[in-house]
C-alpha cells in the first residue's frame, strides 16, 4: 500500500541544474517539535522523536528546520531520530538569532552566515547541506554581501542547493543574479495570499514555493470555521481541506505543516489524498484575505 504522502505528487528542486533533488510535495515542518515559543526542549522528548520517525514512515521525504528552532533543538532531534537520512531531504535555515521564547532578530553579516552553515553541518552530522535557506535578508547588511558568502559556501561544497525565506519578487530576482534559487518560503495559506505574485514568479521559473503557516490561524481550520462545510461534504477535516487547496492551487507548492502530535501528523498527511471539486475550490478562492 503506497504511503499517504505519495498522493501529493512530486517536485524536483534544482530541475535546471546538474544535481536535482526530487521530493514529495507534502513535507514536514520541524519547528513545532521544540518547546513553547519555539524555545528549548519539547515537553516530551520521546514523543518528538516518534513524530519525526512516523513522518518518514508515512512517506515524508522533505523535512524543513532551522538553526533558530530551539535554538538548535530541532536540528539535534532530527539527527537523533533520523540519521543517517537516506532519501530524506533535510533542509535547514540560518540568519535568525534568538533572545527568548517567540523572540527573533535577524543577523546577516557574512561571518555569522558562515557560522550558521558550519554549525548546522555539525549538528546534522553531514558534510553538505542539501538545501540551505537564508531565513531572512538582513536589511542592515548589503544584500550582495549576504548572497556572496552563500554562493562562496556553495562553491566550497558546503551547500548543495540554496533557498530564500520571506522575500519579495525583486529580492528573489536580485538573488538569482548571484546563485540559482531552488526554493522560497513565504507566509501563505488559503486566508492569506499576499505572496501570490511571488508564487506566480516561482511557477514561471520552476522554483519550489514553501508556504509557511500553511494551515493559517485556528480560525481558518476550526471545526466551525470557513472550511468546515467543505470538510463535512468531502468527508475530511478542515486542515486537510486547507492542505489540499494548497497542493491543487499550484504545481510548485510544497506545504510543510508542522506538529508535535502523532495524531495531527496523520491528519496532515491525509490531506495529500483529498481532492477538492470545483465548488470547494471556488468557495476557498472567495475567502476573505483577513483570515491571517
**pLDDT > 90 fraction of the chain, expressed in percent and rounded:** 95
Confidence of residue 4 (pLDDT cuts 50, 70, 90): confident
pLDDT per residue over 5-38, tens digit each? 999 999 999 999 999 999 999 999 999 999 999 9
Spatial separation of the C-alpha atoms in residues 280 and 228, rounded to whole Å? 11
> Mean pLDDT across the chain, nearest whole number?
96
pLDDT at 114 over 50: yes
C-beta separation of 209 from 246 below 8 A: no
The answer to which of 71-80, 118-127, 130-139, 218-227 has the lowest mean pLDDT is: 218-227
* Residue 290, pLDDT score: 53
CATH number of 19-217+252-260: 3.20.20.100
> What's the rounded mean pLDDT across residues 224-239?
96
pLDDT at 217: 84
Residue 248 has pLDDT above 50, yes or no: yes
Return the closest-CA partner of residue 187 out of 157, 154, 158, 210: 210
Q: Check residue 28 and give its pLDDT.
A: 98
With residue 10 as reference, give the H or E element that holds it: strand 10-13
HSE-up of residue 87 (Cα within 13 Å, Cβ side): 8
What is the three-class DSSP state of 284?
helix
Largest CA distance in the chain: 54
Q: Match 483529498 to its residue by C-alpha cell.
A: 274
Q: pLDDT digits over 202-220, tens only?
A: 999 999 999 999 999 888 9
pLDDT at residue 1 is higher than 50: no
Neighbours of 44 (CB within 10 A): 11
pLDDT over threshold 90, residue 287: no
DSSP conformational letter for 283: H
Integer Cα distance of 93 and 180 in angstroms = 16
9-14 long-range CB contacts below 8 Å, 24 or more apart?
9/247, 9/251, 11/208, 11/251, 11/252, 11/254, 12/206, 13/89, 13/131, 13/161, 13/182, 13/183, 13/208, 14/161, 14/180, 14/182
Q: What is the dihedral of CA 138, 89, 26, 182, to 10 degrees?
A: 50
pLDDT score of 122 more than 90: yes
Distances (CA, A) of 74 to 53, 59, 127, 170: 13, 20, 18, 31
Residue 291 pLDDT more than 80?
no
Whether 292 shows a pLDDT value over 50: the answer reads: no
Q: Verify whether residue 83 is a known catalytic residue.
A: no
Residue-wise pLDDT tens digits, 160-191: 999 999 999 999 999 999 999 999 999 999 99
Number of helices (H) and strands (E), helices first, in the chain?
A: 10, 11
What is the Cα 83 distance to its own chain's centre? 20
Render the burial of 242-272: b for 16+ CB within 10 Å, e for the rest: bbbbbbebbebbbbbbbbbeeebbebbbbbb
Choosing from 69, 72, 112, 188, the catalytic residue is: 69
Per residue in 95-109, pLDDT tens?
Answer: 999 999 999 999 999
Amino acid at each position: 500500500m503506497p504511503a499517504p504522502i505519495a498522493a501529493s505528487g512530486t517536485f524536483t528542486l534544482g530541475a535546471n541544474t546538474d544535481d536535482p533533488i526530487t521530493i514529495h510535495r507534502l513535507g514536514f515542518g520541524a519547528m513545532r517539535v521544540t518547546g513553547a515559543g519555539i524555545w528549548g526542549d519539547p515537553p516530551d522528548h520521546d514523543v518528538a522523536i516518534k513524530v519525526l520517525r512516523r513522518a518518514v514512515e508515512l512517506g515524508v521525504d522533505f523535512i524543513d528546520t532551522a538553526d533558530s528552532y530551539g535554538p538548535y533543538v530541532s536540528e539535534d532531534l532530527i539527527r537523533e531520530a533520523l540519521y543517517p537520512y537516506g532519501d530524506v531531504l533535510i533542509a535547514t535555515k540560518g540568519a535568525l538569532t534568538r533572545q527568548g521564547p517567540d523572540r527573533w532578530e535577524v543577523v546577516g553579516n557574512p561571518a555569522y552566515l558562515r557560522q550558521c552553515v558550519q554549525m548546522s553541518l555539525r549538528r546534522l552530522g553531514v558534510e553538505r547541506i542539501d538545501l540551505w535557506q537564508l531565513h531572512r535578508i538582513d536589511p542592515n547588511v548589503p544584500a550582495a554581501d549576504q548572497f556572496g558568502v552563500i554562493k562562496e559556501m556553495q562553491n566550497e561544497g558546503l551547500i548543495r542547493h540554496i533557498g530564500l525565506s520571506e522575500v519579495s519578487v525583486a529580492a528573489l530576482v536580485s538573488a538569482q543574479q548571484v546563485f540559482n534559487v531552488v526554493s522560497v518560503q513565504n507566509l501563505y495559506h488559503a486566508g492569506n495570499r499576499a505572496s501570490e505574485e511571488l508564487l506566480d514568479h516561482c511557477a514561471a521559473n520552476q522554483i519550489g514555493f514553501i508556504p509557511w503557516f500553511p494551515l493559517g490561524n485556528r480560525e481558518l481550520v476550526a471545526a466551525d470555521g470557513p472550511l468546515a462545510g467543505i470538510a463535512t461534504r468531502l468527508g475530511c477535516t478542515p486542515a486537510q481541506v486547507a492542505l489540499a487547496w494548497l497542493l491543487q492551487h499550484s504545481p510548485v507548492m510544497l506545504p510543510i505543516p508542522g506538529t508535535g502530535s502523532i495524531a495531527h501528523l496523520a491528519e496532515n498527511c491525509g490531506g495529500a489524498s483529498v481532492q477538492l471539486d470545483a465548488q470547494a475550490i471556488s468557495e476557498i478562492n472567495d475567502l476573505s484575505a483577513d483570515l491571517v
